[in-house]
Amino acid sequence: MTENPRDYLAVAMDVPDLQSACALADALEGAAGWLKVGAELFTAEGPAAIEMARTHAKVFLDIKLHDIPNTVASAVAAATHHGVAMLTVHAAGGIAMLRAAREAAESAAAKTGRARPKLVAVTVLTSFAPDDLKMLGVAESLPEHVARFVDLAQRAGLDGVVASPWEAAAIRAQAGQDFFLVTPGVRRAVDAVGDQTRIATPEVALAAGSSLLVVGRPIVQAPHPAQTAREFVLEIGKALEAK
């Protein structure tokens, strides 16, 4: 990955409609390398949100696909046709689903001439605390559960995973330097935690091995989103210099 600090920042466009998304993207022009289109915006506006975001930055489509292999494969092919640079699937969907997603991305990219999007598997949401897994009947510890999903993603041929900064160092040690590690739950020391549980600063996340930091509310809800995004990029740059 390039050492341009902007390319380590994805801003989550968690806004309700295309008008709000356009205003945010315009305000952030040049401040972040990635714009993340998530469930809220995609449900409201569909592919139009992707097309708009693509005019400003690389698009990370984060709709966490989790269904039978054929359905997920069709959705991945459609996303590839729309030119997304990366999208998420749920590791819990199993290896057959993950492999179907990879094969669909490769096939659609070959047919359309577009670049194949990165496929990253969601492990355990950053809103989860360790005890939350027990409530779901998962006997493994949270780090063990994440490690199992990392192994699954690698065996399926995916590019990486999504996990909290708390697991980043262990994932990097397990999966190697070429594995793409997306970390939500990134906050500066001055930012509100919100409903995130497993969080870290940009410096800590990058030192642990993160490839891309996802930041939503601290930027989106700031009085001046572009200024706040640039402050994040400044912290990222300092962290990269310290590595």
243 residues of the chain, pLDDT tens digit each: 458 999 999 999 999 999 999 999 999 999 999 999 999 999 999 999 999 999 999 999 999 999 999 999 999 999 999 999 999 999 999 999 999 999 999 999 999 999 999 999 999 998 888 889 989 999 999 999 999 999 999 999 999 999 999 999 999 999 999 999 999 989 987 777 666 677 789 999 999 999 999 999 999 999 999 999 999 999 999 999 987
> At 215, is the secondary structure helix, strand, or coil?
strand
Q: Could you say which of 36, 58, 64, 118 is catalytic?
A: 64
Give me the domains of the chain, ranges plus CATH numbers: 5-242 (3.20.20.70)
52 CB-near residues (< 8 Å, 6+ apart) = 18, 21, 22, 25
Residue type at position 181: L
Residue type at position 194: G
pTM, 2 dp: 0.94
In angstroms, how far apart are the furthest CA atoms of the chain? 47
CA distance 119 to 102: 7
In the residue annotation, 64 being an active-site residue is answered as yes
